[in-house]
Amino acid sequence: MAIRIIVLEPDEVLHKIAKEVTKITPNVQKLLNDMADTMYDAEGVGLAAPQVGILKRLIVVDVGDENGLIKMINPELVASEGEQFGPEGCLSIPGINGDVRRAETVTVKGLNSDGKEITITGSGLLARCFLHEIDHLNGVIFTDIAEKVYEQIPERLGKE
């Protein structure tokens, strides 16, 4: 496993549609593991393969809930309901946040790293993260759909 370099906006790979994974190989499994390591190293909650320069439909997500680390191949949104509105950031656009309107609850299906179909329903941050990462697979970044974009406010770290 390895930490990969995260592609930064305005790299064109972030604006392309990722290709479906047709065969789960050891290389695909290694890429998912590397993506998880990279996400954790960058202190993120999700990462899509285009963010490490690979145009494949792969995502990893871990929002710190009971689901733990989710590795998903060819994720698809199958249901959504409700609405939430709030801030998002992106490992590919450091220092920038934006207010984005998303579904409150989503159901996503895809394959796990062993090729078994999985379906996960999540609300709140998990729903937001799934939608954000699936957008990456479709060449959409959060600033494309944000209603307001702004710089992150640095933490004061107890200093006046």
Tell me which DSSP letter residue 17 carries: P
CATH number, domain containing residue 55: 3.90.45.10
The answer to whether 90 is a known ligand-binding residue is yes
The domain total for the chain is 1
- What is the DSSP track for 36-51? HHHHHHTT-SEEEGGG
Q: Is 124 within the bounds of a domain?
A: yes
The predicted pLDDT at position 152 comes to 78
The predicted pLDDT at position 70 comes to 98
Instruction: Find the domain containing 132 and state its range.
Output: 12-151
Q: Read off the pLDDT of residues 108-140 as tens digits, 9 standing for 90 and up.
A: 999 999 999 999 999 999 999 999 999 999 999
Question: Tokens 């920038």 identify what position?
Answer: 96
Q: Is 4 within the bounds of a domain?
A: no
Q: Is 85 within the bounds of a domain?
A: yes
The predicted pLDDT at position 155 comes to 57
Q: Which positions ≥6 away from 131 have C-beta within 8 Å?
A: 77, 80, 102, 103, 106
Q: Is 100 within the bounds of a domain?
A: yes
Q: Is 102 within the bounds of a domain?
A: yes
Q: Is 3 within the bounds of a domain?
A: no
As annotated, the active-site residues are 133
If pLDDT is split at 50, 70 and 90, which confidence band does 156 have? very low
Q: Is 6 within the bounds of a domain?
A: no
The answer to whether 136 is a known ligand-binding residue is yes
Rounded mean pLDDT of the chain?
Answer: 95
Q: Which positions ≥6 away from 150 have C-beta within 8 Å?
A: 96, 97, 98
The answer to whether 15 is a known ligand-binding residue is no
